[in-house]
A and B are shown apart, each in its own frame.
Chain A
Amino acid sequence: MADNVTVKTAEAPYLDTEWARPGVLDAIASRLFYIALFLFGLMAVVGIAAGVHAKYIGSLEAYGVSREVPWGILISTYVFFVVTSTGLCLVSSIGHVFGVQAFEPIAKRSVFLAVATIVSGFLVIFFEIENPFRMAIYNVISPNLTSNIWWMGTLYGAYMMFMAVEFGLLVMHKFRIATMVGFLGVVAGIAAHSNLGAVFGMLDGREFWYGPFMPIYFIASAMMSGAAAIILFTWLAYKVNGAKMDEPMKNALAVTTKVGVLLIIVILFFTTWKFIIGFAGSEAKIMALKSLLTGPYAFNFWVLEIAIGMVAPLILFIKSRGQNIGNMALASAMMIFGIFFMRYDLVVVGQIVPVYYELGVSDYPGLLRYSPSVHEILVVLGGIGLTGTIFLLGEWFFGGHEHEAHGEEG
């Protein structure tokens, strides 16, 4: 293990190859760590309580969704989490699956966070779906193979399993098998995530979504989210640990920043063409696009999605040259914040044009409304809290996810 690239230093004695070592706590333990863990834990508990309460009183009363807009912030938050998870998996796989060494230092934490975010996504969708327990039964005994929801659910189940197993293997230093399982995770992740895009893209009654754009867009935006999540969480982890970043890790974040720059440009390009092509479309589709450009979703679109989510981070990334880690982390945090609203707009704007709009009936004169209820917002915060809690516990139990060169069987 002599040439292992570890971050074991005198200042950070907790970064040991042994995991779950109780002594790790002493080094991590700062008051801030406990406060953060408590707050995230509290958010998760309150969110779960709100979700359980919503199940008890019924979604009609608890949630803001309606017959006309059946999918709200819980669906978009689920999409947000699984986009992030898939992105963490895909971007980090460049190193731990496809062998590009520069990316290897981020592998373990990324795989761990991919599991954390998919679990958070499942938590949110559990409270969104009306009868989740029936799903467990009838997805197995009555599968509909033409349904994207079926494929998405099944493949994400497999994906979560592969990622969890891969993480276990990485912890046990079984790198060769980990690479194979990681590859299966990548395949399942891409298949699942493009199916999630197709859940929307195959609804030809909903013109804002309909078409082959969505599965492709979903994969590209996953990688954008993944790059942001890796940079932000790695930065946060080193803050939490109080450790010094070594050169390989700095280099890994620099190349991840390049991925981020590329994918932001790709998504800006996709977004531009979605609008240009959309304006050659039907009245209903143009109405949806206008709601983003100049209508009730213009603030979300221009400020949150474009400015905070993409343009400002792009500038910060480029100016940082992959060196100014503070700015890169800030850019990543802005991206994740903006992307959350990108998902929200994607889901909600797809439904706000009434299906009967072009019939010209007075029952549906204009855009439909949806606003999240308190229960919905609490469940969303619960999902965020769960990710935060798992992240912090992960840093604690797995000693800062110390990285090691692959190819060494432990």
Chain B
Amino acid sequence: MPLSPRIPESPEPADESMVSEMQRRDFLKLGLAITGVFAGGTLLSAVSVVDQVFASKQDFAEKYPYKPHYSMVIQQDNCIDCERCLEACRQTNEVPEYGYRTRILEQVKPEAIGRKVEFIPVLCNHCNNPACVRACPTKATYKDPQNGIVMVDKDKCIGCKTCMSACPCNDRYYNEETKSVDKCNFCYDTRLSKGETLTACAAACPAKVRIFGDLSDPGSQVYQRVHDLEAAVWVLRPETGTKPNVFYTKA
């Protein structure tokens, strides 16, 4: 699958074709860079992030390393902080009171025009280059070779908490009940492996915030949102180079 369905195989004879793809991208970046500053400097790119989130667009955009390559796109501005996702996660995955696998952050912008509050759901980013997996001494946390989910093997966890320090997004906690570090696994054991197609949080969301799917499938909604050149798509803490698979955008 080529990176850009929008690079025409045979350029249109029209004048616009003289504008190269790079110029077009630069223009888009320029136009949306201001939005990026406003959003707290968190905007990774105003154009499709595929080429920046992955090491090499030749390798990754054409062929994703996992099949299915599970991914989530979060339509941040749709979130109303009803917390049904959090409750669904808690019940589905037996998350104790003191912990959470996903939460909703609140961003208040008093200087904004119109709506001044935005909610940012966060969960494990299931990074392609996960800092936690590198740091774990016993391979208790690992990247699933099939679907790319960052898993935890409870029995191997020694509880050194290095993964918790290593995670740039604080998506892990120590679960006293299971005697192991716990984190989001896209409901793999509780739902996906049982034939469900959505995570509990995505299924529970009434506002279409959490779009879950296979990033390697061009027909999937996540693929289409992430590859949409016109849309602003970003990830959290891109500077740490972990290449997240949870993307953020606006509806």
Binding site for B on A (CB under 8 A): 58-60, 65, 67-68, 70-71, 129-132, 134-135, 138-139, 142-144, 146-150, 153, 199, 202-206, 282, 351, 354-356, 358-364
Contacts and interface: CB of A to CB of B under 8 A. Distances in A.
B4 to A, nearest CB: 30
Given A143-B138, A148-B135, A356-B170, 6 more contacts: A70-B174, A130-B174, A131-B157, A358-B41, A361-B105, A363-B106
B159 A130 contact: yes
Contacts of A60: 98, 174, 176
A148 B105 CA distance: 32
Contacts of B139: 138, 142-144
A212 to B, nearest CB: 16
A135 B107 contact: no
A355 B170 contact: yes
A143 B136 CA distance: 9
Contact of A129 (B136, B158, B167, B242): B158
A58 B179 CA distance: 10
6 A-B pairs closest in CB distance: A130-B159, A205-B168, A138-B138, A150-B137, A70-B161, A135-B158
A204 B240 contact: yes
Nearest to B174: A130
Interface of B: 40-42, 98-99, 105-108, 120, 122, 131, 134-140, 155-162, 164-170, 172-174, 176, 179-180, 236-237, 239-242
B137 A149 contact: yes
- With most chain A CB atoms within 10 A of its CB, the pick from B42, B99, B159, B160 is B160
A355 B168 contact: yes
Contact of B108 (A147, A148, A362): A362
26 contacts: A60-B176, A67-B99, A67-B164, A67-B172, A68-B170, A70-B165, A71-B161, A131-B179, A134-B156, A134-B158, A135-B160, A138-B158, A142-B140, A143-B137, A144-B136, A147-B136, A204-B240, A205-B166, A205-B237, A354-B170, A355-B169, A356-B169, A361-B107, A363-B105, A363-B106, A364-B105
B165 A362 contact: no
Given A59-B174, A203-B166, A355-B237, A139 B137 contact: yes
B66 to A, nearest CB: 20
Given A203-B131, A358-B40, A138 B162 contact: no
Contact of B107 (A138, A355, A360): A360
Contacts of B162: 147, 149, 199
B236 A359 contact: yes
Contact of A147 (B137, B240, B242): B137
Contacts of B98: 60
Given A135-B138, A203-B165, A362-B106, A67 B158 contact: no
A130 B162 CA distance: 12
B179 A130 contact: yes
Contact of B40 (A70, A131, A359): A359
Contacts of B160: 129-130, 135, 149
A363 B40 CA distance: 15
Contacts of B156: 134, 138, 142
Nearest to A350: B165
Contacts of A138: 137-140, 156, 158
Given A60-B176, A130-B158, A143-B137, A359 B165 contact: no
B83 to A, nearest CB: 13
Contacts of B159: 129-131, 134
Nearest to B135: A147
A46 B39 CA distance: 52
A381 to B, nearest CB: 22
Contacts of A134: 138, 155-159
A401 B99 CA distance: 52
A150 B138 CA distance: 7
B165 to A, nearest CB: 6
A65 B168 CA distance: 18
A73 to B, nearest CB: 14
Contacts of A139: 137-138, 158
A359 B42 contact: yes
B135 A203 contact: yes
Contacts of A282: 239
Contacts of A131: 157-159, 179-180
Contacts of B161: 65, 70-71, 130
Given A60-B176, A70-B164, A129-B159, A362 B137 contact: no
A237 B116 CA distance: 67
B240 A144 contact: no
A358 B156 CA distance: 34
A71 B139 CA distance: 20
Contacts of B122: 356
A361 B236 CA distance: 13
Contacts of B105: 356, 359, 361, 363-364
